[in-house]
Amino acid sequence: AQKVTQAQTEISVVEKEDVTLDCVYETRDTTYYLFWYKQPPSGELVFLIRRNSFDEQNEISGRYSWNFQKSTSSFNFTITASQVVDSAVYFCALSEDFYNQGGKLIFGQGTELSVKP
Amino acid sequence: KAGVTQTPRYLIKTRGQQVTLSCSPISGHRSVSWYQQTPGQGLQFLFEYFSETQRNKGNFPGRFSGRQFSNSRSEMNVSTLELGDSALYLCASSLVGEVTDTQYFGPGTRLTVL
């Protein structure tokens, strides 16, 4: 069955520390997409990144980087030199092609990141 | 481009009432998905619409329904409200709702049922 697990419920760090948010997924499909979203206190989910199952290259965008490993079914997210503005809830999500499940994202439970000054 | 808009942003209803929430997708996007977010259950998929047709549905009772109009705007309706329906309801739009599409979310409607 498809499932996304974010084992870390809450993480607290001090500004400038590096932090990694873990995401492990389960899927029966060979074609799937993984996403990370950020949810600040305002509530809106902000899209951060999308990866497809055939592209295992790591990606870096500024202070953000993502490590995708199919062998361990993980798609981890690292924030380097964290800032107070990074404080939010982060969600990992899965979209799979099996049975044409377009339009449906399966979310993890989210990790609440608190960055203290 | 304007983002996804949702109205109203906040609603307070009492048990037994019904409610209608509205979502306007990003211009050019034809797929609209709805999600319910609660502290206990997290983010759960409700349904997805494309070209005025519901293509995909999550595991929710029939009290939850929706529709999509020819301009891709969508509404969701919850009838006979229960306390457990209190949640943040998020709408997302994408180009055509394929697995390859990225969904962009609106700010949500926070529904409180008393």
CA distances from B84 to A23, B41, B43 (A): 28, 11, 14
Query: Chain B closest CA to A92's CA: distance in Å?
Result: 11
pLDDT band at residue B87 under the 50/70/90 scheme: very high
pLDDT of the residue at A102: 67
Flag residues of chain A having pLDDT under 50.
Answer: none
Distance between CA atoms of residues B38 and B41, nearest Å:
5
φ, ψ of residue A100 to 5 degrees: the values are 50, 60
Do B33 and A97 make contact, defined as CB atoms within 8 angstroms? no
Provide the token pair at B99: 């697995």
Q: What mean pLDDT comes out for the span B25-54?
A: 95
% residues pLDDT > 90 (chain B):
90
Residue written as tokens 């509404």? B75
Q: What mean pLDDT comes out for the span B4-18?
A: 97
Per-residue pLDDT at B102 exceeds 80: yes
Residue A84 carries which DSSP code? G
pLDDT of the residue at A69: 94
pLDDT of the residue at A57: 84
A31: chain B residues, CB-CB within 8 Å: 99
Q: What mean pLDDT comes out for the span B65-80?
A: 97
pLDDT of the residue at B99: 80
- Taking each continuous run of H as one helix and of E as one strand, the counts in chain B are 0, 11
pLDDT of the residue at A101: 62
Do A45 and B105 make contact, defined as CB atoms within 8 angstroms? yes
Distance between CA atoms of residues A80 and A66, nearest Å:
11
Q: What mean pLDDT comes out for the span B15-40?
A: 97
Tell me, yes or no, if B10 comes closer than 8 A to chain A by beta carbon: no
Q: CB-CB: which of A32, A44, A105 is closest to B103?
A: A105
φ, ψ of residue B99 to 5 degrees: the values are -60, -25
Per-residue pLDDT at B19 exceeds 80: yes
pLDDT of the residue at A56: 84
Do A31 and B58 make contact, defined as CB atoms within 8 angstroms? no
B33: chain A residues, CB-CB within 8 Å: 103-105
Which site among A9, A30, A45 would you substitute to test the B interface, given the most B Cβ atoms closer than 10 Å to its Cβ? A45
